């Protein structure tokens, strides 16, 4: 018996239908508060140095929704406002007691770093055709290899500003990509899929909702129809990869590499290059979707070759069926339970998959445990024991 990624919250015997709503409320509150703090941190110094004109100009730039990689101020403000979602969603999961923060990372309740290193291979392979697409027409071989300034124009930013922007992109974009992946492909998918008892229905609904919301979140950036379809197809394939590999590692790398390459190539501000995101074409959508499918194929082959652990080697907490005992007060939605109350998961430290010493803890009734384990004084069973620590 094992549990797939999208059902990981159900491993914890404390899971209740309302806990994800608590986590969502915390995440929304966290986002609002952090945005206020970030706004103060940016607007106050600008108001002090540039006055009302500087503050109004920054507000107008933000209101336009367009992300200009040639402006380090706007770029950093936009990226930081997204980066804060990463610690926010991890804290939300813990505070709502859905499970350890690592529940969102993988079926191992942690980032599988060896697997992450292997995922660099398909990520780099896919980055090559994407780079060629993004730089098509930018180079010339007349008189040697170099930028074709007749086609792209001269850079509109200084070397110092360009260096600052590139350093900023390299430092912030990986966390920005991880934040979006953990929220849309992690928290949303696990929450929705855990609510729906029928697994296949839960998967379809969770992937559909997360993909639609992810694509809709880019409408404010001025994307046209093909741009939204491009983003949506990326989100769809990313969700499938997460479910197929049992973790976020591959999609976080893909997301980060994709955004880094786009921002770095746009950072010089070539005078003839249009940075408007509303000019996507059917051809660019087909190419992008094709590269996403190719990335998925390579990750799938790599996972098979590496014999990747794609599921949690344990059991879900059993659902309530039957009459609750007197001590439960009849509150079957807020008390632990299952096919019988004696099968409630054994707990040690109160965190799914962890003991007080850091070891993994299984639910009662898992492989190697007898019915009623955890209720008769028997030691809890480690459902992950004997399983090779594959990447």
pLDDT, average across residues 101-116: 93
The CA distance from 291 to 129, in Å, is 8
Rounded Cα gap, residues 135 and 137, in angstroms: 6
Q: What is the average per-residue pLDDT within 160-185? A: 94
pLDDT of res. 384: 34
pLDDT of residue 302: 96
Model confidence pLDDT, tens digit, residues 244-262: 999 999 999 999 999 999 8
Q: In the predicted model, what is the mean pLDDT of residues 324-331?
A: 46
pLDDT one-digit tens code per residue, 75-103: 899 999 999 999 999 999 999 988 888 89
Q: How confident is the model at residue 279 (pLDDT cuts 50, 70, 90)?
A: confident
Report the pLDDT value the prediction gives residue 344, as an integer from 0 to 100.
Answer: 38
299 has a pLDDT exceeding 90: yes
CB-side neighbour CA atoms (13 Å) of 20: 19
3-state class (DSSP) for residue 280: coil
| 64-75 average pLDDT score | 78
Q: Name the average pLDDT for the chain.
A: 80
Question: What's the pLDDT tens digit per position in 18-57?
Answer: 889 999 999 999 999 999 999 999 888 888 888 778 778 7
Q: Comparing 158-172, 175-189, 350-364, which segment has the lowest mean pLDDT?
A: 350-364
Rounded to whole angstroms, the Cα distance separating 309 from 294 reads: 22
Cα–Cα dist 135/8, whole Å: 41
Q: What was the pLDDT predicted at 23?
A: 94
pLDDT-derived band of residue 367, with 50, 70 and 90 as boundaries? very low
**Helix 113-134 and helix 249-266: axis angle, to 10°?**
30
**Cβ 135 vs Cβ 39: under 8 Å:** no
The stretches of the chain forming alpha helices (DSSP H) are 19-63, 72-83, 85-95, 113-134, 149-152, 159-180, 189-195, 199-216, 225-245, 249-266, 282-305
Predicted pLDDT of residue 66: 62
Distance (Å) of CA 91 to CA 25, 37, 96, 102, 183: 12, 18, 8, 11, 12
Task: Confirm if 325 and 164 have CB atoms less than 8 A apart.
Answer: no
Q: Which residues contact 355 (CB under 8 A, 6 or more apart)?
A: 348, 349, 361, 380, 382
Q: Is residue 298 pLDDT above 80, yes or no?
A: yes
| Model confidence, pTM | 0.81
Give the range among 209-213, 256-260, 275-279, 353-357 with minimum mean pLDDT. 353-357
pLDDT at 2: 85
**Across residues 196-221, what is the average pLDDT?**
91
Q: pLDDT band at 220, cuts 50/70/90? A: confident
Q: Which of 65-74, 80-89, 370-379 has the highest mean pLDDT?
A: 80-89
Distance CA 179, CA 182 (A): 5
What does the block give as tokens for 309? 């652990």
Torsion of CA 6, 8, 9, 10, to 10 degrees: 100
- The answer on pLDDT for 349 being more than 80 is no
Residue 206's pLDDT band, with cuts at 50, 70 and 90, is very high
b/e for 216-226, b at 16 or more Cβ within 10 A?
A: eebeebebeeb
Q: Report the pLDDT value the prediction gives residue 390, as an integer from 0 to 100.
A: 34
Give dist(CA 329, CA 74) in Å, integer.
Answer: 55
Range of weakest confidence among 142-146, 181-185, 257-261, 363-367:
363-367
Looking at residues 168-181, what average pLDDT do you find? 95
Distance (Å) of CA 276 to CA 67, 177, 223, 291: 9, 21, 8, 22
Closest among 97, 120, 96, 100 to 109, alpha carbons compared: 100
Q: What mean pLDDT do residues 178-194 have?
A: 96
Decide: 239 and 189 in contact? Cβ < 8 Å. Answer: yes
**Per-residue confidence (pLDDT) for residue 343, from 0 to 100:** 40
First to last CA, the chain: 20
| pLDDT grade for 178, boundaries at 50, 70 and 90 | very high
Closest C-alpha to 5, from 184, 195, 211, 247: 247
pLDDT category, 176, cuts 50, 70, 90? very high
Average pLDDT over residues 151-177: 91
pLDDT value of residue 60: 75
Does residue 257 or residue 361 have the better pLDDT? Answer: 257
**Interacting residues of 284 by C-beta distance below 8 A, sequence separation 6+:** 133, 226, 230
pLDDT score at 323:
52
Task: Collect all residues with Cβ–Cβ distance below 8 Å to 63 and sequence separation of at least 6.
Answer: none
What pLDDT does residue 22 have? Answer: 93
DSSP labels, 10-31: GGSTT--TTHHHHHHHHHHHHH
């Amino acid at each position: 018996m094992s549990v797939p990624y999208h059902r990981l919250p159900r491993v914890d015997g404390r899971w209740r239908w309302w806990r994800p709503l608590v986590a969502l409320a915390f995440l929304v509150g966290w986002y609002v508060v952090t945005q206020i703090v970030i706004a103060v941190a940016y607007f106050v110094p600008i108001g002090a140095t540039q006055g009302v004109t500087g503050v109004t100009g920054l507000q107008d730039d933000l209101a336009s929704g367009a992300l200009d990689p040639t402006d380090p101020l706007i770029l950093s403000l936009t990226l930081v406002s997204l980066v804060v979602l990463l610690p926010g969603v991890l804290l939300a999961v813990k505070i709502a007691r859905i499970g350890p923060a690592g529940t969102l990372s993988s079926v191992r309740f942690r980032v599988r770093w060896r697997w992450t290193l292997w995922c660099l291979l398909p990520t780099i392979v896919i980055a090559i055709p994407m780079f060629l697409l993004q730089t098509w027409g930018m180079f010339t071989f007349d008189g040697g290899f170099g930028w074709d300034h007749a086609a792209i124009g001269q850079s509109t930013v200084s070397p110092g500003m360009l260096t600052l922007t590139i350093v900023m992109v390299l430092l912030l974009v990986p966390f920005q990509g991880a934040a979006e992946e953990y929220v849309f492909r992690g928290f949303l998918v696990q929450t929705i899929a855990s609510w729906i008892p029928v697994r296949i229905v839960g998967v379809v609904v969770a992937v559909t909702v997360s993909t639609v919301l992810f694509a809709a979140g880019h409408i404010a950036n001025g994307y046209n129809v093909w741009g939204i379809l491009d983003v949506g197809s990326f989100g769809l394939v990313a969700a499938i990869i997460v479910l197929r590999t049992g973790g976020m590692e591959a999609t976080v790398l893909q997301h980060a590499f994709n955004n880094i390459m786009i921002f770095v190539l746009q950072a010089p501000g070539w005078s003839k290059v249009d940075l408007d995101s509303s000019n996507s074409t059917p051809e660019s959508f087909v190419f992008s979707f094709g590269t996403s499918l190719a990335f998925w194929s390579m990750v799938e082959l790599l996972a098979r070759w590496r014999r990747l652990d794609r599921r949690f080697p344990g059991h879900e907490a059993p659902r309530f069926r039957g009459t609750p005992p007197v001590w439960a007060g009849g509150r079957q939605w807020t008390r632990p339970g299952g096919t019988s109350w004696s099968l409630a998961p054994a707990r040690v430290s109160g965190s799914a998959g962890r003991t007080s010493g850091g070891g993994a803890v299984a639910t009662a009734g898992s492989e190697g445990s007898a019915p009623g384990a955890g209720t008769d004084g028997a030691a809890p069973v480690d459902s992950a024991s004997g399983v090779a620590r594959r990447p």
